[in-house]
Structure 1
Amino acid sequence: MPKDTVTTLQISIGQASLAGVKPVNQDFHGASVPSGQQLALKGAVLAIADGISTSDYSHIAAETAVKSLMTDYYATPDAWTVKTSASRVIAATNSWLHAQSGYAGISDADRGHVCTLAALIVKARTAHLFHVGDSRIWRVSGASLEPLTQDHQVALGGGETVLSRAIGVGHAVDIDYKAVPLELGDTFLLTTDGVHGFWQPKQVTQWIAASDDLDATAHQILNAALEAGSNDNLTVQILRIDALPQADQQFDAGMFGLPIPSLPSDGAQIDGHTILRQLHGNHRSYIYLAKAPDGTKVALKIPSSDLREDKDALRRFVMEEWIARRLSSPHLMSAPPSGTRTGLYVVTDYIEGQSLRQWMQDNPKPDFEQVRDIIEQVIQGLRALHRREMLHQDIRPENIMITRDGVVKLIDYGATYVAGVQETAPALEEGILGTLQYTAPEYFANEPVSWKAELFSLGVIAYEMLTGTLPYGTQVSRVRTARDRMRLRYRNARDDAHPMPDWLDEALHKAVHPDPARRHAHLSEFAAYLRTPSLSYQTRHKKPLAERDPERFWKTVSGLLAILCIWLATMAFK
């Protein structure tokens, strides 16, 4: 999509803060509105924190809570969702503030590094709300203000309340989260209790509706609250949505609008890359071995001209390099830094070796240790992906490479789901993106999908490596409902042609179970149970002592009988 047709998020912000009648302002607030791709992928952040009056350190806590969110949030991976990114930053800040109180020898939370926090992150067409304490977030609704947060307070009687939740009180913090769809013209307010305890909501909405200067309106709101008798610090932030991205916004990655290059011949130059030879080609793309400007070998992929009008296909195409540049695992394909582009193509690392499919053909009867080693390396790559909130979605032997040094790497991110990008530009319903015989049945039944779908694919591959066949044949691709899914019948991997321990077959069966909830709890658990029987298996198959060690059993029985006889004889003489 040409860049000039893209509508970006545009907002107006007004904010003000006063100490009020107090000598020190323990409130702190901040706003960050980046530009370009960072605005699209991370959004704009507003945050407000209120220190508690009983603490001499709460103003430090308030400033720390806001500043850390303003900076650290943007340092989190682009692939993470807003909820994951902000929650982890807030949790880390909470732990740090709690530790500071401990270092200072403060055992009373009311005198420690403690504050409230309300944060609003606007990304694409959604507002993400984070809340701890009694600062509030509101939305203008006609002539009234709609509260979007609920105070964390406990009533003590006599009208007095105390905070039941705050940043810095304990090692961990419970954060309220809410996602609110955005509409053009939506207006949000963040306030501390020195404001919303004394304002007139109808008056506030009238001022905002007539405002061309939100900063001036923010000061107007604070002055009115002071005149109404506010006895606390006062802070307000106002955010108005002036423009929203299109609902069908495509993910750019900086390459949409560039022309698709003509297919090059050996020796041709593309932006400093020298084409050495073609590696692969089909109706969707062409892959070339190329020498980068720094002399390293890379894989250069050019989309087929047939994809020129297929926006979804081009999105998946450009995403592959974007994803690869954000991965650093030795078991995942990565990509070199991006240079200036005159055409639409992607560049990734060139992996010298063979695909797992070729390896399986060369090793039709691998030993168990070879299979375990390959599966464990794939698991390491998958765990690195999952930590970035990504699902590969096309795990198959052709997408697993084994280098000449025996390092196993996952490749091809054309079908990869990226949670953070999905928030920015939701992909259309595209059906099954992976290869049918390795795709988990929940995809075909149109059910929720998690990392356990990747476990299923990996289990199918392990099964095929050991048996040369598939655990359900072609039946999985015929699944359409949850009932169809549960009708699948597993074919035992263990038979006369493929001898293996029962516990190993059980580990395979569990990995590819039709019900995701009954698969292994972790990828590492699957790896462990490929090496040793599970605890449940050992419990179910534990033999009694008489079978495991007959000699020891009868010696023990004889000893006990001897003791009994001696005791009976003693009793008889008495």
Structure 2
Amino acid sequence: MPATLTLSLGQHSERGRKDTNQDFHGARLPEGAALALRGCALAIADGIGSSPVSHVASEMAVRSFLSDYYETPDSWSVKTAASRVVAATNSWLHAETRRNRHLHDPEGGQDRGYVTTFSALVLRSRTAHIFHVGDARIGRVVQRSLEALTEDHRVVLSASESYLGRALGAAAHVEIDHTTVALEAGDVFVLTTDGVHESVAPEAIVAEITRHGDDLDGAAREIARLAYENGSGDNLTVQIVRVDALPDGNPEEITGRLDALPPAPLLEPPTAFDGYRVLRTLHASHRSHVYLAVDDDTERRVALKVPSTDLHVDPAGLQRLMMEEWIARRIDSPHVLSAPPRTRRRSHLYTVMDYVEGRTLAQWLRDNPEPDLETIRDIVAQIAAGLRAFHRREMVHRDLRPHNVLIDAAGTVRIIDFGATRIAGLAEDDPSIDATVQGTVQYTAPECLAGWPATPQADIFSLGVIAYQMLTGRLPYGTQAAQAFSEARARRLHYVSVAAARVGVPTFVDAALRKAVHPNPAQRYDVLSAFVHDLRHPNPSLPGLRRAALLERDPVLFWKLVSLALAVTVAVLLARGAR
């Protein structure tokens, strides 16, 4: 069986020769899904000695990181999750510093505020992530010495005078160093505050770790004692973590081991299966079969999806299928299909999603071959709202097309089918996830066809193609787009104006579509809201658009001015006639 990430931990902190301990440290070693999604975290902080509240700052920095980091969206990468938590903590500390009464002390300032160093080590899957601000240190044991993984943010003025160049709480914004290193079983990492590493040589630290063997707490205590005996006048904090076993590097732990349950068989409705009454088949393809079913416990109607027979021998395909339900539970949007709570154990691999009565956008377009522009704008805006929910959680849908958009009887639009979704947090562990194009080529951005990882701009491209298709019944690049498997071919794509297929479409709408489906992602919209806005409002900055005439921008004002001009003309003529 694949191993999970297994660690051994030792820690020690004391005030040393100081009256109080302004250092703070902590660790969180979760199990199960939290271990797979967020990993294990260690953090150490050292409040500046000149401030009477620095112990509050150091404790706040460590406690908030070890708590808030595990509350971030599961789909966020480690870098995004940790950086945002640290930035939020910095903002709070800086605000407290500004409110601190010591700021009014003539000898006060930030040296009397909520200021602290901060360093964190996050071990997730087979990678170590280091986040660092200040002059605490993180190192890795290499043979008989320590490999430095952080750089002190200290500005040296002279042999006897220096100051922190970076610290939490010192300014409204803080630059956070982030580095990663590959993990190997047996790796040992050491975190220390400056009271320790300025008084104990790296070789002596490694020697104590080696001498104490599995007693890492004892090694941490002895290293602190050595620092004290060597004359350190500062607080003394040491953390030691050893990697005992590594996982296999796959994200299977998130949804459950694929080899723990067999794939669900194809069903013959009406039938009973795993606590559901299966009523009828909704859809069948080479990837999966979807059935309308009723949960026996809740009487809730659901869509039950089982893998096709071909998928039974495709572990990657099964993994994508299982991820769909996981994704649905983590996106809260009325424009994204959701999944009901899981209430019981399952006997097979399958997914359960909420059932929504409706028709796909593909079917809707067959029923409405020439929709009006306002209806198209409304549908695009709803799809964009759903995509924003993906992007906020660092997910890219990657397979947005009319068959994966559902419209219910009330006109609510929902994005469905998440089997191709790119999740930044998982791609970080397994880059091979991006190696294969998962979307439908006619709607896939050229850079993805060329093998580059999908970004939110790829979803914007797909949405632009859908909007273009709704307006014209065609694709913006015809069949050429499906052949754009290189940057050179992408540059040769020729956009066909919507005016060539549909009379009466405003020029500014065509300009917005042209930008949304640009072959170069850098030339597309940065955000979905800008595209939605430009479909309704002329944007003079778009290529080929002049500034709209006053008659187009404000007809009422235009005719008022015309009436005023006529009135002035009449008045002048009457005045001349009176002479």
Using structure 1 for the length normalisation, give the TM-score: 0.92
Identify if the C-alpha distance between structure 1 residues 114 and 451 changes in structure 2 by more than 3 Å, giving closer, same or farther: same
Greater Cα shift, 206-215 or 392-401: 206-215
Deviations 1:353-406 (A, max 9, x none): 111111111111111100000000010000010000101010000000011111
Task: Report if aligned partners of 1:255, 1:318 keep a CA contact under 8 Å in 2.
Answer: no
User: 1:30, 1:57 → 2: CA distance?
Assistant: 19
Matches within 5 A, 1:161-560: 161-210=162-211, 211-248=213-250, 250-254=252-256, 256=258, 257-292=260-295, 293-338=297-342, 339-428=344-433, 430-495=435-500, 497-537=502-542, 541-542=546-547
User: 1:378, 1:310 → 2: CA distance?
Assistant: 31
Task: Report if aligned partners of 1:250, 1:425 keep a CA contact under 8 Å in 2.
Answer: no
- How many residue pairs get aligned? The number is 555
Q: Report the AA paired with residue 266 of structure 1.
A: P
Deviation at residue 212 of structure 1 after TM alignment: 2.0
User: 1:244, 1:155 → 2: CA distance?
Assistant: 40
User: 2:449, 2:89 → 1: CA distance?
Assistant: 42
Greater Cα shift, 495-504 or 193-202: 495-504
Task: Report if aligned partners of 1:252, 1:315 keep a CA contact under 8 Å in 2.
Answer: no
User: 2:416, 2:46 → 1: CA distance?
Assistant: 48
Unaligned runs of at least 5 residues, structure 1: 560-574
User: 1:439, 1:263 → 2: CA distance?
Assistant: 30
Task: Report if aligned partners of 1:401, 1:411 keep a CA contact under 8 Å in 2.
Answer: yes
Q: Report the AA paired with residue 236 of structure 1.
A: V
Task: Report if aligned partners of 1:7, 1:243 keep a CA contact under 8 Å in 2.
Answer: yes
User: 2:407, 2:272 → 1: CA distance?
Assistant: 29
Greater Cα shift, 373-382 or 253-262: 253-262
Task: Report if aligned partners of 1:40, 1:424 keep a CA contact under 8 Å in 2.
Answer: no
Deviation at residue 66 of structure 1 after TM alignment: 0.5
Identify if the C-alpha distance between structure 1 residues 501 and 209 changes in structure 2 by more than 3 Å, giving closer, same or farther: same
Deviation at residue 417 of structure 1 after TM alignment: 0.8
Runs of 4 or more, structure 1, over 4 Å off, are 424-430, 537-540, 543-552
Q: Please provide the CA RMSD for this pair.
A: 2.5
Paired residue for 2:576? none
Q: Report the AA paired with residue 330 of structure 1.
A: P
SS at match of 2:428: helix
Matched, 1:24 2:26: no
Deviation at residue 544 of structure 1 after TM alignment: 8.9
Identity in percent:
50
Task: Report if aligned partners of 2:325, 2:353 keep a CA contact under 8 Å in 1.
Answer: yes
Deviations 1:234-254 (A, max 9, x none): 101111111111245645502
Greater Cα shift, 448-457 or 302-311: 302-311
Equivalent of 2:89 in 87, 93, 118: 93
Deviation at residue 73 of structure 1 after TM alignment: 0.8
SS at match of 1:325: helix
Task: Report if aligned partners of 1:114, 1:166 keep a CA contact under 8 Å in 2.
Answer: yes
Greater Cα shift, 443-452 or 54-63: 443-452
User: 1:51, 1:299 → 2: CA distance?
Assistant: 54
Q: Report the AA paired with residue 332 of structure 1.
A: V
Q: Report the AA paired with residue 194 of structure 2.
A: D
Q: Report the AA paired with residue 15 of structure 1.
A: Q
User: 1:136, 1:186 → 2: CA distance?
Assistant: 17
Unaligned runs of at least 5 residues, structure 2: 104-108, 570-579
Using structure 2 for the length normalisation, give the TM-score: 0.91
User: 1:372, 1:272 → 2: CA distance?
Assistant: 42
Paired residue for 1:125? 126
Identify if the C-alpha distance between structure 1 residues 307 and 543 changes in structure 2 by more than 3 Å, giving closer, same or farther: closer
User: 2:407, 2:202 → 1: CA distance?
Assistant: 65
Deviations 1:264-300 (A, max 9, x none): 3334222321111111112321111011121111100
User: 1:174, 1:270 → 2: CA distance?
Assistant: 54
SS at match of 2:101: coil
Matched, 1:147 2:148: yes
SS at match of 2:462: helix
Task: Report if aligned partners of 2:2, 2:247 keep a CA contact under 8 Å in 1.
Answer: yes
Greater Cα shift, 452-461 or 158-167: 158-167
Deviation at residue 531 of structure 1 after TM alignment: 0.3
Greater Cα shift, 167-176 or 400-409: 167-176
User: 1:249, 1:294 → 2: CA distance?
Assistant: 31
Identify if the C-alpha distance between structure 1 residues 220 and 543 changes in structure 2 by more than 3 Å, giving closer, same or farther: closer
SS at match of 1:194: helix
